[in-house]
Amino acid sequence: METASLTPTITWTALAGSPTYTLEVSPQLTFGNIVYTRETIATSVTIPEGHLQHSTNYHVRVRAVVGGNTYISQPHFFATTFVPLPEITVPTIISPADGGIIVGRDLEVTWEEQRSRGFTVQLATRSNFPPAFANLRTIGVSALNFNAIFTNLPVEGTWYLRMRANMDDGASTDWTPVIRIQITEEGVSVLPPDITEFFRVYNTSNGNANLIINQPENTSAVITIFSITGRMLYRQTHSLNAGITNIPLELSGQARGVYLVQVTVGNRTQMQRIIR
């Protein structure tokens, strides 16, 4: 059996004419689940990190289109090499935050990257997640993906979230601690009267985010947004009224991912992660 690294280079023989090639890689001989594909005019492709798993069998083939005709190579079989693997642990949820507010009927859940055989994410309006409950949603996620999106949630109000990772032996890790979130209709002003922390971020379903800042007096705040690598993307000063101020953050022009928002009021500065 031929073994390969997790980033192998696949090469093939060139055809006459000016063909366009499409490389396809799948763990199934039927190619029902293609984990990586690439269109190219070259005769080799290096598969980047993040697509192949350790100690796994794969099939690879190449489609070629030339002169209006399509040709498909015979599948080639290989296995990725065995390496000692880290322990599969209970996932760490990045977003949403416990006690967070979500505007709209869609919710994206993200968690830290880790090894697994996949993940199970559950959302319900009851904290004990009763099976066969009408407002229990379950999403299964493959091993190399670290987010899940619940859409068209039917009920506003309080929801509860938990997840776990699938292990090599078919069992699962323990569930994460339960996260409590508040979901409200798109466009409704959300100004919770019981905010005691310096500021809070909540996401909207269109990919933007809002800040809620709670201050005892009229003042101003400097809002700065950084990429996860520390590059400053945005800085602006906002006037604050005594009490709660709601400030929208425009993120629609940024790629999806994790960002940092920094709020400075006087000599007080705090930073929090946000998800686009």
pLDDT in tens, 79-96: 998 767 788 999 999 888
- What is the torsional sign of CA 119, 124, 126, 132? negative
Whole-number pLDDT of residue 203: 62
Q: What are the start and end residues of each CATH 2.60.40.2550 domain in the chain?
A: 199-275
**Residue (of 167, 122, 106, 115) closest to 146 by Cα position:** 115
Q: Which CATH class is domain 93-184?
A: mainly beta
Rounded to an integer, what distance in angstroms lies between the CA atom of residue 80 and that of residue 8? 9
Task: Name the token pair of 271.
Answer: 């930073």
The C-alpha angle with vertex 56 and arms to 52 and 60, in degrees rounded to 5, equals 65
Task: Name the token pair of 25.
Answer: 């890689």
Q: What are the start and end residues of each CATH 2.60.40.10 domain in the chain?
A: 3-80, 93-184
Whole-number pLDDT of residue 38: 94
Q: Which of 42-46, 175-179, 210-214 bottoms out in mean pLDDT, i.e. has the lowest?
A: 210-214
| Mean pLDDT of the chain, nearest integer | 83
Rounded to an integer, what distance in angstroms lies between the CA atom of residue 189 and that of residue 208? 15
Distances (CA, A) of 16 to 12, 52, 61: 13, 31, 18
Give yes or no for residue 275 having a pLDDT over 80: no
What CATH number belongs to 3-80?
A: 2.60.40.10
pLDDT tens sequence across 225-237: 877 666 778 788 8
**Residue (of 208, 270, 218) closest to 245 by Cα position:** 218
Q: Out of 3.30.1200.10, 3.30.930.10, 2.60.40.2550, 3.60.110.10, which CATH number does the structure's domain 199-275 have?
A: 2.60.40.2550
Rounded to an integer, what distance in angstroms lies between the CA atom of residue 40 and that of residue 81? 26
Q: Which of 100-114, 191-205, 257-271 bottoms out in mean pLDDT, i.e. has the lowest?
A: 191-205
